[in-house]
Structure 1
Amino acid sequence: MTVILLRHGRSTSNTAHTLAGRSEGVDLDALGHEQAQAVVTRIGELPVRAIVRSPLLRCERTVEPLAAALGLVPVVEERIIEVDYGSWTGRTIGELVKEPLWKVVQQQPSAAVFPGGEGLAQVQARAVAAVREHDRRLADEHGGDALWVACTHGDVIKAVLADALGTHLDTFQRITADPASMSVVRYTDTRPFVLHVNHTGSGLTAALSAKPAAAPETDAVVGGSTD
């Protein structure tokens, strides 16, 4: 089973340099809508069997073109929603970097709990559980061999990737997940294989065959490209 972890396209909050969190009504900006359309071409002929998304608007908008092209109805999954940043929600990054907690978030994220919100360790636990659960469900539905998309948020993707890489959550700030990027994880009975991180190129077909192959017996190569 292989999951494409798709971050939503660039949002109005991204360009305003604010922490959107779970604020309602945060939509994609003009570039974000273009990125959402481009996802269809980037995935190309890959046989995506299902789309699972965060309930927030920016993820809904990001998968709309892909869902229409594939004739799929996205499943809304609450456990891959954005981090609950509590009282940090809506504030500018410029303000937040002055907070003492900012250093904790950057240097020891496993200990970071947002005031009035949740901790990053909680985020990782819920998101990894959701991804692995959907992976098992789709394996049962498709005979153990299927490709699917999970559209979610940057910190959520980084937390899932840290788990898949077998690294501590405190290293997750070393991982990048740009808007509209795709990171690919293949789960097996023994361990996950990370096939791509932060892919922003024109297509995934160079990284994935039309039919996901059996997991290799040696460690998979972590690759990726940036804008």
Structure 2
Amino acid sequence: MPTVLLVRHGRTTANAGGILAGRARGVRLDAVGRDQAVRAAERVAGVPLARVVTSPLERCRQTARALVERQGEAPEQVVERGITECDYGQWQGRALKDLAGEPLWKVVQTQPSAAAFPGGESLAAMQSRSVAAIRRHDAEVAERYGADAVWAAVSHGDVIKSVLADALGMHLDLFQRIVVGPASVSIVRYGPHRPDVIATNSEAGDLSWLRAAAPAGDAPVGGGAGHGEPDGEAGLQPS
């Protein structure tokens, strides 16, 4: 199956201010976030992307635009509501330092599968629709572009953490152990037997080695030899 790059949007004004932006409109990348998006795009520039899927929220659209602008040939572009931010309901727009005093905060931290935001959605519902959307696009990319295609999904921290938890076979209650920083790139292949998680939360390193990466298959006993270094350039070492 293809390779999907899970790209979190760059830092926003809300991130910098400690505000839970949620689905609020007008939340854009700040100067740091714009630089982060460009760096992520430069890392991916050497990998022809078949499709770029983005959350409809502005900060993800900005990050996705940076990816597309640095591709030699413009990839297919799709806006996907299935990977939009969690609906935090009445928590949206509030300061994280204040939310930390709410009883629900501890549930979110220790038992997220039971967390449902007042007036919003549950984290379990967020994971369900996000994983379904990613797997659907992956199957579509495979059918249209082939098993060796690479595509990108630009989304949000909690969404990407929940998708990675599913790929790793982790219960949602463990997903807070996963870190997904602004403009980081995580890499997954949905193989015939199981998903292969190639990298998580990577923030540096050229990704051009993905051009020569084989589609997902059987896991090599002993771990295998890893990827090569196309064009003589050192690539990101899978984690």
Q: TM-score, normalised by structure 1?
A: 0.93
Alignment of 1:158-173 (within 5 A): 158-173=161-176
Aligned-partner residue type, residue 66 of structure 2 = P
Q: Quote the Cα distance in structure 2 between the aligned partners of 1:45 and 1:202.
A: 12
Counting only pairs closer than 5 Å after superposition, residues 32-71 of structure 1 correspond to structure 2 as: 32-70=33-71, 71=74
Preserved contact between residue 146 and residue 212 of structure 1 (Cα < 8 Å): no
Structure 1 match to 2:184: 181
* Distance verdict in 2 for CA 1:29–1:43, change over 3 Å: same
- Please give the alpha-carbon distance, in whole angstroms, between the structure 2 residues aligned to 1:54 and 1:63: 9
Q: Aligned partners of 1:58 and 1:210: how far apart in 2?
A: 28
Is structure 2 residue 212 aligned with structure 1 residue 196?
Answer: no
Tell me, in whole angstroms, the C-alpha distance in 2 between the residues paired with 1:212 and 1:186: 11
Structure 1 residue 62 displacement after superposition: 0.7
State the Cα deviation string for residues 86-129 of structure 1 (Å, max 9, x = none): 00000000000000000000000000000000000000000000
Once residues 36 and 94 of structure 1 are traced to their aligned partners in structure 2, the CA distance between those partners, rounded to angstroms, is 27
Q: Which has the larger radius of gyration?
A: 2
Describe how 1:68-87 pairs up with structure 2 within 5 A.
68-70=69-71, 71-87=74-90
Question: How many aligned positions are there?
Answer: 222
What is the CA-CA distance between 1:215 and the residue it aligns to?
2.2
Match of 1:111 in 2: 114
CA contact (8 A) 2:8 2:180 kept: yes
TM-score calculated relative to the size of structure 2: 0.89
Note if contact 2:192-2:216 (Cα within 8 Å) is conserved in structure 1: no
Structure 1 residue 223, shift from structure 2 partner:
5.0
Q: What amino acid does structure 2 have at the position aligned with 1:187?
A: Y
Structure 2 CA distance, aligned partners of 1:100 and 1:81? 25
Gaps of 5+ in 1: none
Question: What per-residue deviation string (whole Å, max 9, x for no partner) do you get for residues 51-86 of structure 1?
Answer: 000000000111112212222352000000000000
Query: Are the aligned partners of 2:90 and 2:120 in contact in 1 as well (CA < 8 Å)?
Result: yes
AA in 2 matched with 1:41: E
Corresponding residue SS for 1:203: coil
8 Å CA contact 2:193–2:218 kept in 1: the answer is: no
The one-letter code sitting in structure 2 at the alignment partner of 1:20 is A
Structure 1 equivalent of residue 155 of structure 2:
152
CA distance in 2, matches of 1:53, 1:46: 18
TM-superposed CA distance for 1:41, in Å, is 1.4
**Deviation for aligned residue 1:188:** 1.1
Asked if 1 retains the 8 angstrom alpha-carbon contact of 2:40 and 2:203, the reply is no
Is 2:19–2:95's contact at 8 Å kept on the other side of the alignment?
yes
Spell out, residue by residue over 1:11-55, the C-alpha distance to the aligned partner (whole angstroms, 9 max, x if none).
000000000000001000001111111122111311211100000
Amino acid at match of 1:39: A
Counterpart Cα distance in 2 of 1:74 and 1:37: 18
Q: Which stretch has the larger CA shift, 36-45 or 51-60?
A: 36-45
CA contact (8 A) 2:165 2:171 kept: yes
Distance in 2 (alpha carbons) for counterparts of 1:65 and 1:168: 33
Distance in 1, Cα, partners of 2:21 & 2:213: 35
- Select 1:90's aligned residue among 93, 108, 117: 93
CA RMSD of aligned residues (A): 1.6
Gaps of 5+ in 2: 227-236
- The 8 Å contact of residues 147 and 212 in structure 1, kept in 2 or not, is answered as no
Identity value in percent: 50
